[in-house]
Amino acid sequence: MALPLTYNFRNVIVRWRATLATVLGIALVVAVFVLVQALATGLEKSAMNTGDPRNMMIVRKGSTAESSSQVSLEQFRTIRYWPQIARDENNQPLVSADVVALISQTRVDGKGEANVSVRGLTPMGRFLRPQVKLAAGRWFVPGRREVTVSTKMAQRFSSFKIGDRFKTAGNWLTVVGEFDGGNSAFDSEIWMDADEARTIFDRERYSSLLVRAASPPAAREIAARIDADKRLPLRADSEVEYYAKQTATAMPIKMLGDFLATAMSIGAIFAAMNTMYASVGSRTREIGTLRVLGFRRRTILASFIIEGALLAAIGGVLGCLLALPMHGVSTGTMSFNTFSETVFQFRITPWLAAKGIIFAVVVGIVGSLLPAIRASRLPVIAALKSV
Q: Do the domain assignments include residue 114? A: yes
Q: If pLDDT is split at 50, 70 and 90, which confidence band does 150 have?
A: very high
Determine which helix (DSSP H) or strand (DSSP E) holds 332, and give its type and residue range: strand 330-334
- Mean pLDDT over 353-360 rounds to 88
The pLDDT, as a whole number, for residue 199 is 92
| Contact partners, residue 326, CB within 8 Å, separation at least 6 | 35, 38, 346, 348
Mean pLDDT over the full length of the chain: 81
Q: Is the pLDDT confidence value at 251 over 80?
A: no
Tell me, yes or no, whether 200 and 326 share the same domain: no
pLDDT of residue 250: 55
The two counts, helices (H) then strands (E), for the chain are 12, 12
Q: Same domain, yes or no, for 304 and 178?
A: no
pLDDT digits (tens, 9 = 90+) for 35-59: 878 877 777 776 667 778 899 999 9
Q: Is 297 left (phi over 0), alpha (psi -120 to 50) or beta?
A: alpha
Residues 286, 365: one domain?
A: yes
The per-residue pLDDT for range 282-329, each reduced to its tens digit, is 666 666 676 666 677 777 777 777 877 888 888 889 989 988 888 877
Q: What is the pLDDT of residues 179-216, one digit of tens each?
A: 998 888 888 899 999 999 999 998 889 999 999 999 99
Query: Do 171 and 278 fall into the same domain?
Result: no
Q: Do residues 98 and 219 share a domain?
A: yes
Say how many domains are in the chain: 2
Q: How far is CA 273 from CA 18, 23, 262, 364, 377, in A?
A: 11, 13, 16, 9, 17
- In this structure, the answer to whether residues 199 and 282 fall within a common structural domain is no
33 and 73 assigned to the same domain: no
Q: Do 175 and 165 touch, CB atoms closer than 8 A?
A: yes
pLDDT of residue 76 exceeding 80, the answer is yes
Residue where one domain finishes, among candidates 183, 204, 232? 232
Same domain? For 127 and 168 the reply is yes
> pLDDT at position 384, please?
59
Q: How far apart are the first and last CA of the chain?
A: 27
347: left (phi over 0), alpha (psi -120 to 50) or beta: beta
Whether the Cβ atoms of residue 71 and residue 58 lie closer than 8 Å to each other: yes
Tell me what pLDDT residue 36 has. Answer: 79
Contact predicate 21/267, CB 8 Å: no
355 part of a folded domain? yes
User: What is the pTM for the complete model shown?
Assistant: 0.72
Q: Which domain holds residue 299?
A: 5-48+248-385
Please give the pLDDT value at position 4. Answer: 58
Give backbone dihedrals phi and psi of 340, rounded to 5 degrees, phi first: -130, 170
